[in-house]
Amino acid sequence: MTEKVGESDSLKWKKSSTEELRVWHQIQWKKIVEKWKEQEEILNQTEEGYNSNKSTKLRMAK
């Protein structure tokens, strides 16, 4: 984070801190989205595996 130098720089400091916070939040959201996509892929693979097993069992039953 940036250091506050003096009262005249307070606005500059606040703007800099706000920008750093915005970037930090952006990074956090990116991590969340990546984890969500990973979970979605795992879920899709699980569903595909379940559906293929289900169709195999149906074919065997006939």
Kindly report, residue by residue over 10-62, the tens digit of the pLDDT. Answer: 666 677 888 899 999 999 999 999 999 999 998 888 877 777 766 655 666 65
pLDDT at residue 28 in the model: 97
pTM, two decimals, is 0.51
Residue 40 belongs to what H/E stretch? helix 10-61
pLDDT at residue 47 in the model: 79
